[in-house]
Amino acid sequence: MLNYIARRMLVAIPTLLVLIVICFLLMHAAPGGPFTSERPLPPQVLANIEARYGLDQPLWKQMWDYLANIVLRFDFGPSFIYKDRDVNDIIAQGFPVTLTYGTISFVIATLVGISLGVLAAVRHNTLLDYIAVGATFSAQALPNFVMAPILVIIFTWQLGWLPGGGWNGGQWQYVVMPVIALSTSYMASIARITRSSMLEVLTSNFIRTARAKGLPGRTILWRHAMKPAMLPVVSYLSPAFVAMITGSVVIDLYFSTGGIGLSYVNAALNRDYAVMLGVTILYGGLTVLFNLVADVTYAWLDPKIRY
């Protein structure tokens, strides 16, 4: 297993390097730049600004310097738009907020989704199963960009129970609605996958054998059926967590949490290459990391898997 993890890490490094190169080339290939606007700057002023940030260098030299700063100093460079701020500061300010409510949303979606899916599978074709399936379909039809304004209208405008935006140090009043808006649709997907997988496992031959031996239903469920039923769920959880972090743009826009998603949108609109590349690399690293976590979890759940 350790050899497998080491090999995956060796593959992850060139993967991230390729991601950086491709994003760098695509951003510089787009028309315009961070210092172009409806009112163009004088040529001499524009030349001085580009020289200040190294944009007057050949493209290969810019890319080489950027890669060297990341590899040697983990420095994503200065922001082209925000004065006296670099990309590391922007990420350090916004990413902890996004990571906080993203992690809470992931934990709630996972626990509720798995519990709902297991109950629906165990009580198959009963009222509980029908309620669970109906709830998951209803939640699936309300993605976060639909759920967020609905929550604001109900709990802020009409009832006045919760603040409609802000973060205020992560107090629970400011976390409730972002977590609900972000976790609902993922919870529904997890519940549906868990239900389908559990139903398939409960009809397997080894489960029939365990029942024939007279084992209690609780023992069959938790000791024999749960692990194999979780394999498809684990496959979904890894990209789901990354999607909750990268999909936080809508949450940041609706609730003004100050997360990294809003900085990413502003960087795209303002052609702030450095911020866009820094956040993209961060998301890419998270994707590689949690795919590795999913593979290791696979080996723990199913001893037949060997890497």
Please give the pLDDT value at position 38.
Answer: 55
State yes or no: pLDDT of 281 exceeds 80.
yes
Please give the pLDDT value at position 307.
Answer: 52
C-alpha 74/C-alpha 214 separation (Å) is 59
**Interval 135-170: pLDDT, tens:** 887 777 777 778 888 888 888 888 888 887 778 777
The overall longest dimension of the chain from CA atoms, in Å, is 86
State yes or no: pLDDT of 282 exceeds 80.
yes
Residue 230, φ and ψ in degrees, nearest 5: -85, -10
> pLDDT grade, residue 305 (50/70/90)?
low
The arithmetic mean of pLDDT across residues 225-254, rounded, is: 81
State yes or no: pLDDT of 92 exceeds 80.
yes
C-alpha 141/C-alpha 172 separation (Å) is 26
Select, from the ranges 193-202, 203-212, 249-258, the one with the highest average predicted confidence (pLDDT): 193-202
**146: which 2 tokens?**
């639909």
C-alpha 213/C-alpha 116 separation (Å) is 28
The arithmetic mean of pLDDT across residues 56-63, rounded, is: 78
Least confident of 16-25, 81-90, 291-300: 291-300
The arithmetic mean of pLDDT across residues 272-289, rounded, is: 82
C-alpha 271/C-alpha 200 separation (Å) is 49
C-alpha 127/C-alpha 200 separation (Å) is 20
Mean residue pLDDT across the chain: 80
Please give the pLDDT value at position 34.
Answer: 66
Query: Who has greater pLDDT, 277 or 247?
Result: 277
Least confident of 16-25, 26-35, 107-116: 26-35
Burial class (CB in 10 A: 0-12, 13-18, 19+), 3: exposed
Please give the pLDDT value at position 111.
Answer: 92
Please give the pLDDT value at position 39.
Answer: 64
> pLDDT grade, residue 303 (50/70/90)?
low
Q: Taking the CA atoms of the chain, what radius of gyration do you get in angstroms?
A: 24
- Total-model pTM: 0.80
State yes or no: pLDDT of 130 exceeds 80.
yes
